[in-house]
Every structure is written in C-alpha cells, then in structure tokens.
Chains A and B, each alone.
Chain A
Amino acid sequence: MSVELELWLFAVAAGTSLLGGVLGMASGVFIVPVLTLFGHLDIHSAIGASLVSVIACSCASAAPFLQERLTNIRLAIVLETATTLGALTGVLLVGVVPISLLFALFGLVLLLAAAQMLRVRRQTAQPSSVRRSSWQLDASYPDAELGGEVAYEVHRLPAGLGLMYLAGLLSALLGIGSGVLKVPAMDTALRLPIKVSSATSNFMIGVTAAASAVAYFVRGIITAPIAAPVALGSVLGALLGARILLRMPTARLRVMFVAVLVALAIEMILNAFGVSLTHRTT
C-alpha cells in the first residue's frame, strides 16, 4: 500500500466527514462508494474500514449527547436487540450476496439518502390517543430553546423495532450507520423529539456496527492500513465539523450534496451491471 493511497484515504475520510458534520448528516454512506469507485478498493475491505469508522464516530460524539441528557439509553438498549439481530442476519448473508447486488443496494440507499436530504425533518405531533407501551420508555429531556424539561412518549414500538432490524441488516451488508432507515423509524414510528432521536440513534450505531465488525475482524476482512486512516480521518472531520458549525448558506451546500449522492448512486448502480465510468484498472 503506497503512501499516496494512505494519505488519500485519510483526506477523503476527513473531507466527507467535515462536510457531513456541517450539514448534520452522517457521512458514513460516502466512504464505501468513494473507496470502491475512485480508490478501486475491493468492496469488502471498503465495508470493513467503513464499519470501524462508523463505530469511532458514534463513540466519539456520544459523550456530549449523554451529558446533555438527550440520549434515551433504555430505549436504545431495547432497539439494539433489533439492530444487532439485523446485523447478525447481514453477517450470515454477506458471503451469499453477490457483489453486484451489494453495489445495486448501495445505489438505492444513496438515492434514499438524497431524497431524505431534500425533505425538511419536521417534528411529528404526539397524539395522546395512541396506546402507550408498558415498557417505561417515556422520558424527558432538557431543551434550552423551549426552556425547561420536555416530556415525551414512545409510540409504536413494534414498528420501530421492525425498521431497526432492517437498519441493522443494511449496516452489516453495506458498512454504514443506516441513518436512512433510523430517521424514519425514530421520527415517524416512535415519534421522538428530533434531538432525542438524533442522540439515541447515534448512540445505537456503535453497537450495531460492532455486531458485524466482530465477524469481519475475525474473518480478516478488516485491513488495518485501510481502516486506520479512514477511521482517523472520519473522527477528526466529525469533531471539527461539529465545532466549526459554519454560518454559511447551507441551502446551496445541501443541493450540492444531493447532486453528489445522486451521481454516486448512478455510478454504483451502473457498476452493479458491469458498466463503469470511473474505469477500473483491475
């Protein structure tokens, strides 16, 4: 592995993670497409490296959320039974799923992420008519803008668990954090306040990715000289991105991001059918 490739991996991871941080979006979804399409790495090594960086980013950013009491840790552990079960299914499937299908699936996830970026995340009203679960998951969090504690209820747990299972499955197959599925699960099914939803979903991503990463690690799919620069770059970018929080017009940046997502999606899907615009040398 050349020094140039090493530095390129670090720079790409740091750059996408920084941009993602500014837009409040997880950038894990970029790593595998960029590494395979432009770095011409084998998709399985790319997925392994991406999983390590997803874990690192989740753990690195968990502390402030926990200290501000935004993370619902009881809800997290219940939902994690579903995400890790999904990850286990993914680990069982990964040898069976053909590589072209992985590319196609990734293309679809990128398109979903693009669609989600265009939609403004709105707070779903909390109806009081829905039957509450008996799991004692309801809680409250301090909200500086609204002033004081905001109490909330957790709704439709079974629907949330189902979506979380799928999120875990995608995470293991594609090496992503699966924000694409976790956001609708948290916002629409469980109807959590956005801040609680972001904090809790970030908290869960680490365990979900670890559930498949243990299997990848012992199989020898995680290559240290690829995983280390990618994880280091991502963590650095994420921490800087959260701190800088540029006062720039994010609307244009958002449109640019969507365009990149769509372009990567098209290229991933073309790759699935054996067509490549970023001509593979191997």
Chain B
Amino acid sequence: MRVTIDERRLEARLAKLLWFGTLSGCVLMGLGWLLFLSTHTPVSARAAYALMDAGVLLLIVLPIIRVALMLSVFLRERDVRFATAAAAVLLIIALSLAVGLWTKA
C-alpha cells in the first residue's frame, strides 16, 4: 500500500483534468446545439455542426488524455508495471482507431 503525497497530487490533477475537460466539452456541444436549434442558414448550420463535433471529440479524447497523464507520472516514478499497463491501454485504443479508419465506408 502506498498513498504517498505524489499519489494524492496525481489524484487531484486527474480530478481537475476530468472536471474541466467535461465542462469544456459540454459548453462546446451546448453552444453548437443551441445554434443548431435556432439556425436557418447553411453557414450557421455548418458552424453548429463544427461546434458540436468539437465538443463530442473533446469528450472522447478526454479519458485518453487521462491515461497519457497517468503514463507520464508512472514513467517519472520509474514504476515499470503500471507504466506498461497504461502504455498497453493507449496501444489498444490506437489499434481501435486504426480499425475504425480501415473499415470506414
């Protein structure tokens, strides 16, 4: 068991990242959605889609950034086991992205 000061700091950083990341993603999506509901021109419709897509993309990337942050902390602590686990998670997500691109219609 090891609840060190560093561990506490990592937890605090993760909490802040996830909270502000979700907030930003939701604000982007919300602005885009309101614009989408009130829009009547093709130009503003395109802007609405861009904002909503940016929000969705930020939300999807957020947990991946979280894993990357954990990887960097484990690497700095020279904690090989947990760094390997974090790297494996990132690799699997990259493979999933590759499959998505490969099977794109």
Please report A residues at the B interface, Cβ cutoff 8 Å.
Answer: 3, 6, 52, 55-56, 58-60, 62-64, 66-67, 69, 71, 73-74, 77-78, 80-81, 84-85, 87-88, 91-92, 95, 135-136, 138-140, 151, 206-207, 209-220, 222, 224-225, 227-229, 231-232, 235
Contacts and interface: CB of A to CB of B under 8 A. Distances in A.
A219 B105 contact: yes
A56 B99 contact: no
Chain B interface residue number, banded: 35 or more
Grouping DSSP codes into helix (H, G, I), strand (E, B) and loop, the A interface class, with mixed when no group exceeds half, is helix
A115 to B, nearest CB: 29
B14 A77 contact: no
A77 B22 contact: no
A81 B29 contact: no
Nearest to A10: B33
A73 B70 contact: yes
Given A69-B3, A87-B96, A91-B100, 20 more contacts: A52-B60, A55-B59, A60-B18, A62-B14, A63-B19, A66-B14, A67-B15, A73-B10, A77-B82, A77-B85, A84-B92, A140-B3, A210-B61, A210-B62, A214-B64, A214-B93, A217-B57, A219-B103, A224-B53, A224-B56
Contacts of A231: 26, 29, 56, 59
Given A139-B1, A207-B89, A228-B29, A220 B22 contact: no
